[in-house]
Amino acid sequence: MTRFAAPIAEQIWDMKYRFKEAGGAPLDLIVEDSWRRVARALASVEADATMWEDKFYHALEDFKFLPAGRILAGAGTERSVTLFNCFVMGTVPDTMGGIFDMLKEAALTMQQGGGIGYDFSTIRPKGAGVSGVAADASGPLSFMDVWDSMCRTIMSAGSRRGAMMATMRCDHPDIEDFISAKQDAARLRMFNLSVLITDPFMDAVKADGPWELTFSGKVYHTVQARDLWNKIMKGTYDYAEPGVIFIDRINAMNNLAYCETIAATNPCGEQPLPPYGACLLGSINLARLVDQPFEDEAHLDIEKLSDLVATAVRMMDNVVDASRFPLEAQAREAQAKRRIGLGVTGLADALLMVGQRYGSDEAAATCEAWLKAIARASYLASTELAREKGAFPLFDADKYLASGSLEAMDQDVRDAIATHGIRNALLTSIAPTGTISLYAGNVSSGIEPVFAYAYTRKVLQKDGTRTEEEVVDYAVKLYRDKFGADAVLPDHFVNAQTLAPLDHVRMQAAAQKWVDSSISKTINCPVDISFDDFKEVYMAAWDTGCKGCTTYRPNDVTGSVLTVSEASEDTPDTDEGADVVYLSEPLDRPQTLEGATYKVKWPDSEHAIYITINDTVHGGHRRPFEIFINSKNMEHFAWTVALTRMISAVFRRGGDVSFVVEELKAVFDPRGGAWMQGKYIPSILAAIGGVIERHLIETGFIAGEGMGLKTDPQAQVVSMGDKPRGKACPSCGQYDLRMVEGCMTCGSCGHSKCG
């Protein structure tokens, strides 16, 4: 019997976490091999490795504890990879040499796949004087452009995509330019942006008072605080950025406030970190811990939860010693504080199982109780580890216990810390869990509500055909297994399509009370929410104690989230795929062919490229037969002729030739791509691939966008009409993109913008 609750779970395991040889042959034959590999690797530092390996294995078994993807994929493989998910880089010096030293460190970290965060508030504003060179400063945004180009270059080299977070203080003189930077669709696409909001600023907003923009003690401008707040709100209302981080609250509540100052977070915001700070992540699957689900006696087994948390803390603490780090400074910082980020997934499913409506007062109270139980168990487990192995090196009992987040902790936990110390300075965090939630059987992600109860997913088979399978939420499947496939879902089954924004805030605030780091959560807002109601979401997040706020309202720049069919609130809209015709021999060319010609004008190129695609009809289906690529630019002549002949030969062989599109769109020019009509195209070959794909869609050969880019290139059609399409997943091509926990995430394959 397979341990996987759904076919998509096994596919995610095979694609992302299964250990394979360089040639692709699997070394983990079954998922139990993956669990054993990870358990053995993390137990190797223990005195009784055999005993702990067995206990670690049972924590992983049946997806109860879900280490982050890097640990699942990398532990025990002997590969030179970091097991840490996220980093905040060093403080950026306000000197040219220091800035580019930081750029090098960022590149080395991203090369290993780490997401990074930077505070750019330390760079002098645009127009400020630069001593010794008789010039004015270009400002922090100009250097952010350099980081953005570096990230694209690292990505083009074939490395796993890393995400970046840029923060800027609300009192920096360039803050207004920062707020509007990504409203230019051609700028800073590799960054997430967040404004560091201070307590005095929020006081000034509420009082409608003035606000000074300063740098190095000099006041550059004075604005009205509420006007600046409204600019931030309007930016995220219209463009989904910037986010908001309540930085003074983060520092006040930090267990380590006595020895560090935080000014940035990792890309998804759940880890506020000091310079060179790093954190590893893992999640307790609450959906697996509910006894008697959907019965009157349904409850979360707190004893099982506490035991599982204790084991998970030990496993994650061992990762600190087992992992490699891109930079020595990151290794020193991790060893000095031994931060871990233990969170949850499946919260919404667990609430459904115990009969509570996500977003209700009752569910918020339950969420708070469950997160408190996890916090207690985490801290007690870490004190036991400290008694056995020693406290983290920078531990100071009096200062640690005086920190903001420890004030509310139960006295028995405080006493244990005072007596034995604590192994890990911070322990809890709620991270994005989109992919590992799919791997665990499509449980609800993090503390998010269920997005959709079921949807249809198209799966590309090895022979080129596509099959359809239903992907059902874990709790919904459990309910229907128990009460019948046609059972009507109870009223408390709510999802993200119908949830009010303030219900999201209520759940985030309830969880934040017992999370010592932060929470990655997206508050989905309807497109027709009024601007005043939208602003109220952020003010409610501030008033209820959240450490930050991220919303998502569908817009023209980032697109809209996956929509659910009106005919069935369970199943999203899907496209009907076109039949694929397989040919055993190349076809002879008919006397006449029907085709279309497209014009692509590559920026900075003197001459346009004209692409003609001619089709044949075979077995009642129109399919591509040949392609011609022409340009007056003679530098293009050799490669366009070669490309013409190769692609035409592929077309004439038949089958599912859409892979040509996928291959071309995956080509990145190391010199950088170009922005065409507001969309980034990584190379001229990718632009050609996008045109071919568009033609295949127009002629009905494929149903929609294929693999490769986040968006299609824009080409001027000379002889065919234009039919606009929505956005597709850049990894699998399906129309299942949604904003989850700050990341644009595909429900079909688990791909996410933030990696």
Split at pLDDT 50, 70, 90, the class of 748 is: low
**CA 755 vs CA 159, 521, 573: distances in Å:** 11, 16, 26
* Weakest-pLDDT range from 70-79, 283-292, 419-428, 629-638: 629-638
* Weakest-pLDDT range from 149-153, 220-224, 533-537: 149-153
Among candidates 189, 106, 89, which has minimal Cα distance to 145?
189
- Strand-strand pairing, 548-549 and 65-67: unpaired
Q: What pLDDT was estimated at residue 157?
A: 43
Amino acid at 417: I
Between 419 and 670, whose confidence is greater? 419
Coil, strand, or helix at residue 209?
coil
With a CB cutoff of 8 Å and minimum separation 6, the contacts of 745 are 432, 434, 435, 445, 737, 738, 739, 751, 752, 753
Among candidates 283, 273, 278, 220, which has minimal Cα distance to 251?
273
Please state, in angstroms and rounded to a whole number, the distance separating the CA atoms of residues 80 and 83.
10
Displacement of CA 212 from its chain's centroid (Å):
34
Percent of the chain whose predicted confidence (pLDDT) is above 70: 84
With a CB cutoff of 8 Å and minimum separation 6, the contacts of 116 are 86, 87, 88, 89, 106, 109, 110, 162, 163, 164, 165, 266, 267
Split at pLDDT 50, 70, 90, the class of 664 is: confident
Average pLDDT (197-206) is 98
Looking at the predicted structure, is the pLDDT value of residue 725 above 90?
Answer: no
Displacement of CA 410 from its chain's centroid (Å):
34
What are the tokens at 543? 């008033």
- Please check whether residue 503 is in contact with residue 359, taking contact to mean a CB–CB distance below 8 angstroms: yes
Average pLDDT (280-288) is 97
- Strand-strand pairing, 115-119 and 86-88: parallel
Q: What pLDDT was estimated at residue 567?
A: 33
Q: What's the pLDDT tens digit per position in 222-239?
A: 999 999 999 999 999 998
Mean pLDDT of the chain: 86
Coil, strand, or helix at residue 342?
strand
Please state, in angstroms and rounded to a whole number, the distance separating the CA atoms of residues 491 and 632.
65
Looking at the predicted structure, is the pLDDT value of residue 575 above 50?
Answer: no
> Residue 614 forms beta bridges with which residues?
595, 626
Looking at the predicted structure, is the pLDDT value of residue 611 above 50?
Answer: yes
Unique residue bearing structure tokens 């009370």: 513
Average pLDDT (254-279) is 95
**CA 275 vs CA 91, 324, 436: distances in Å:** 6, 18, 28
Average pLDDT (608-630) is 84
Split at pLDDT 50, 70, 90, the class of 159 is: very low
**CA 263 vs CA 260, 420, 648, 741: distances in Å:** 10, 31, 54, 21
Is 268 among the catalytic positions? yes
- Please check whether residue 148 is in contact with residue 203, taking contact to mean a CB–CB distance below 8 angstroms: no
Q: Is the dihedral of CA 302, 303, 305, 309 positive or negative?
A: positive
Q: What's the pLDDT tens digit per position in 166-186?
A: 999 999 999 999 999 998 877
- Please check whether residue 164 is in contact with residue 267, taking contact to mean a CB–CB distance below 8 angstroms: yes
Hey, what's the torsion of the CAs at 406, 411, 415, 418, to 10 degrees? 20
Is 442 among the catalytic positions? no
Length of the chain, in residues = 755
Average pLDDT (239-256) is 96
Q: What's the pLDDT tens digit per position in 31-51?
A: 999 999 999 999 999 999 999
Please state, in angstroms and rounded to a whole number, the distance separating the CA atoms of residues 373 and 511.
11
What pTM value is reported for the model? Answer: 0.78
Looking at the predicted structure, is the pLDDT value of residue 604 above 90?
Answer: no
Domain ranges of the chain: 95-252, 594-734
Q: What's the pLDDT tens digit per position in 376-389?
A: 999 999 999 999 99
Among candidates 166, 76, 77, 74, which has minimal Cα distance to 119?
166
Q: Exactly one of 10, 270, 448, 741 is catalytic; name it.
A: 270
What are the tokens at 185? 């669709």
Please state, in angstroms and rounded to a whole number, the distance separating the CA atoms of residues 277 and 343.
18
Is 266 among the catalytic positions? yes
What would the DSSP string read from start to end of 231-285?
HHHHHHHHHS--EEEEHHHHHHT-TTTTT----EE-TTSS-EE-TT-EE-EEEEE
Please state, in angstroms and rounded to a whole number, the distance separating the CA atoms of residues 736 and 561.
8
Q: What's the pLDDT tens digit per position in 503-512?
A: 999 999 999 9
Average pLDDT (245-267) is 96
What are the tokens at 369? 């109780």
Average pLDDT (405-412) is 93
Split at pLDDT 50, 70, 90, the class of 154 is: confident
Among candidates 368, 362, 301, 369, which has minimal Cα distance to 494?
362
Q: What pLDDT was estimated at residue 576?
A: 38
Looking at the predicted structure, is the pLDDT value of residue 371 above 60?
Answer: yes
What are the tokens at 494? 């709510």
Amino acid at 526: P
Percent of the chain whose predicted confidence (pLDDT) is above 90: 59
Biggest CA-to-CA distance, the chain: 90
Please state, in angstroms and rounded to a whole number, the distance separating the CA atoms of residues 64 and 285.
5
Please state, in angstroms and rounded to a whole number, the distance separating the CA atoms of residues 222 and 173.
9
What are the tokens at 293? 């689900």
Average pLDDT (65-71) is 94
Q: How many CA atoms within 13 Å lie on the side-chain side of 604?
A: 6
Looking at the predicted structure, is the pLDDT value of residue 677 above 80?
Answer: no
Looking at the predicted structure, is the pLDDT value of residue 572 above 60?
Answer: no
- Please check whether residue 51 is in contact with residue 69, taking contact to mean a CB–CB distance below 8 angstroms: no
Hey, what's the torsion of the CAs at 34, 77, 340, 57, to 10 degrees? 30
Coil, strand, or helix at residue 228?
helix
Q: Exactly one of 86, 268, 525, 749 is catalytic; name it.
A: 268
* Weakest-pLDDT range from 273-277, 399-403, 729-733: 729-733
Unique residue bearing structure tokens 């990696």: 755
Between 92 and 668, whose confidence is greater? 92
Please state, in angstroms and rounded to a whole number, the distance separating the CA atoms of residues 260 and 396.
13
Please state, in angstroms and rounded to a whole number, the distance separating the CA atoms of residues 516 and 254.
7
> Residue 624 forms beta bridges with which residues?
615
Helix axes 302-322, 49-60, angle to 10 degrees: 120
Q: What pLDDT was estimated at residue 558?
A: 59
Q: Is the dihedral of CA 537, 538, 544, 550 positive or negative?
A: positive
Question: Where on the phi/psi map is residue 452: left (φ > 0), alpha (ψ -120 to 50), or beta?
Answer: beta
Please state, in angstroms and rounded to a whole number, the distance separating the CA atoms of residues 755 and 164.
11
Average pLDDT (451-472) is 73
**CA 409 vs CA 380, 405, 422, 566, 664: distances in Å:** 11, 7, 14, 47, 56
Q: Is the dihedral of CA 108, 114, 115, 116 positive or negative?
A: negative
Please state, in angstroms and rounded to a whole number, the distance separating the CA atoms of residues 54 and 419.
30
Within 10 angstroms of residue 582's Cβ, the number of other Cβ atoms is 12
Within 10 angstroms of residue 480's Cβ, the number of other Cβ atoms is 16
End-to-end CA distance of the chain: 31
